[in-house]
Amino acid sequence: MPFIADLGDGTVHPMLLDEIDRLKSEIDKLRPFEGRGLDQLKAYYRIGLTYTSNALEGNSLTESETKVLLEDGLTVGGKPLRDIYEATGHAKAYDHMYTLLSNPTITAADVLALHRLFYHQIDSSQAGAYRQEPVIISGSQYPTVAPSKIKNAMSDFFDWLSRHESSLHPVTFAAEAHKRFVFIHPFIDGNGRVARLLMNLCLLRRGYTIAIIPPVLRASYIARLEEAHVDDGPFMKFIAERVLETQRDLLRLF
């Protein structure tokens, strides 16, 4: 597929969205995913998303170690306890994500629940609660929202979600939701993990596959997210390309 530039205004190039929609049509022909096949598909991405999302944040578990932990319930010797908790917590949040697909809209309670499930074993006092102190994102020159303004910022965020979920292309909507959430940075920790779960929830609710961001693309992902403060076109294109590649991966599986 030839290189497709972003439009520079937060809009994913129509040719890229057209290719995503074309592959969605191919995947839709394989539906419905039911029974054992559906369970296997969820389990496959449960491991894949848990591993990649945690690895992007510095978790030391490999994909095979994540699989052993989540599927066999066996702990991995020599690994930090926090890394174990991040994997088991993310898997619980991933499972909960599927219960939210048919809800009328995405609410504050939904996002707080995702964070609570992910973070409970790490710090139960902060799990599912907006932060009460300022945070600085390492490597970023842009400030996050002040603690006193988080509640109002998140209220505006959920209002934006409800108003735009049906009007924007699902991939554009998911990428924009991810960006807006991270810029608010409502939690003391775990914002990236929740942002990617939220992004994938947005995609699944509209019948699209999830977007996997492999650790090898960490530098590009962070750079484009930082750049999105002034020009979000490259970030939107980056997320769209990850959706496209995950679609191709799914079609290879079948």
Distances 4 to 8, 57, 102, 130 between C-alpha atoms, Å? 12, 28, 33, 38
185 is catalytic: yes
CA–CA separation, 144 and 242 (whole Å): 26
- Could you tell me which of 187, 152, 157 has the C-alpha nearest to residue 173? 157
Residue 11 three-state SS? coil
Please give the Cα distance from 20 to 35 (Å, whole number). 26
- Give the separation between CA 72 and CA 65, rounded to whole angstroms: 10
Q: Which of 90, 120, 178, 185 is catalytic?
A: 185
Q: Could you list the active site residues?
A: 185
